[in-house]
Amino acid sequence: MPTSVNVAVVFYSATGTLTTMARAMTEDAEAAGATVRLRKVAELAPQAAIDSNPAWAANIEATADIAEVTPDDMRWADAVVFGSPTRYGNVSAQLKQFLDTLGGLWQAGELADKVYSGFTASATPHGGQETTLIALYNTIHHFGGILVTPGYTHASKFVDGNPYGTSHVSGQGDLPVNEQTLTAVRVQAERVVKFTRALKDGLGA
């Protein structure tokens, strides 16, 4: 029996791009043999802002079946894959707020020695995908986490071109998640599961 691997996919999405990516990440990590908890972070925006954007309101409805993340999901996970759209080249406030609730676990050392990875989306090709992932990864260093990023470890990475994590260019909402992005998700999910299992095996030996 291969060693069991628990993966938490923890994401924020306003208008659905990251939701599609997070659901695909969940399926691909499961296909790679992991047990997966798909979790959204809490929405912080005022209802009036959400209601002013039909895609935002639709995404709230479309994610009603996904539980909100709790610190226990972090404790449970051997690997956490975080997803956030770029916000001015940075992590969304909603995901950051969740990270900022984890001080207790962090101080207790319970976030260390796990595998972490990230995925993102932006409106434009140079709109901050790499900076968003690197901003996210700053936190992982403070956790004492082990970053598993895709690098250029698969032929497809020379096509999508982002070694830091999966990223999608969504335009003005008119560029839905495509085959290229779904391939990047699969490559990242498989790599996260593979190295999480190897880490657990190695530490258990």
Ligand X SMILES: Cc1cc2nc3c(=O)[nH]c(=O)nc-3n(C[C@H](O)[C@H](O)[C@H](O)COP(=O)(O)O)c2cc1C
If the CB atoms of residues 113 and 130 are measured against ligand X, the closer one turns out to be 130
Q: Contact with ligand X (CB under 6 A): which of 166, 170, 181, 188?
A: 170
Residue 106 burial (CB count, 10 A): 16
Binder among 5, 6, 15, 98 for ligand X (CB under 6 A): 15
Residue 85 binding ligand X, by CB under 6 A: yes
d(CA 203, CA 12): 32
Contact between 200 and ligand X by CB under 6 A: the answer reads no
Q: Which phi-psi region, left, alpha or beta, contains residue 165 (left: φ > 0; alpha: ψ -120 to 50)?
A: left
User: Per rule CB under 6 A, is residue 13 in the interface with ligand X?
Assistant: yes
Judged by DSSP in three states, 79 sits in strand
Q: Between 97 and 136, how does the x/- string for binding to ligand X read (CB under 6 A)?
A: ------------------------xxxx--xx--------
Each residue of 12-27: b (16+ CB within 10 Å) or e? bbbbbbbbbbbbbbbb
145 contacts ligand X (rule: CB under 6 A): no
For ligand X, the binding residues (CB under 6 A) are 13-18, 85-89, 121-124, 127-128, 170
